[in-house]
């Protein structure tokens, strides 16, 4: 499986604060192999790194999570 990780802001369920979680941090939280990941932190990343990729069901898209659960096997598609 390959992954597209979108860094971004998320409001924490635990403390109610807004945190920025980078795509690199998401990769570590999900315990993913860097070779399997496309890391997107901003619009420039999105435009350059996604250009030319076959996105038809090949990649699972992951974002920062409100509940802090970064176990892919327990939450289906990481949604």
**In the chain, where the domains are located:** 2-69
Q: What is the pLDDT of residue 5?
A: 96
Q: Pairing relation of β-strands 8-11 and 18-21? A: antiparallel
- Give the chain's count of helices (H) and strands (E): 2, 5
pLDDT given at position 77:
47
For residue 74, is pLDDT > 70?
Answer: no
CA atoms 71, 73, 77, 79: torsion sign: negative
Residue 78: per-residue pLDDT: 43
Q: What is the pLDDT of residues 26-67, one digit of tens each?
A: 999 999 999 999 999 998 888 888 888 877 778 999 999 988
């Amino acid at each position: 499986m390959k992954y597209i990780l979108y860094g971004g802001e998320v409001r924490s369920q635990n403390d109610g604060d807004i945190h920025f979680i980078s795509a690199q941090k998401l990769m570590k939280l999900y315990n993913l192999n860097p070779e399997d990941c496309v890391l997107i932190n901003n619009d420039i990343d999105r435009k350059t790194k996604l250009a030319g990729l076959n996105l038809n069901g090949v990649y699972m898209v992951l974002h920062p999570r409100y509940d802090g659960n970064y176990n892919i096997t327990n939450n289906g598609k990481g949604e």
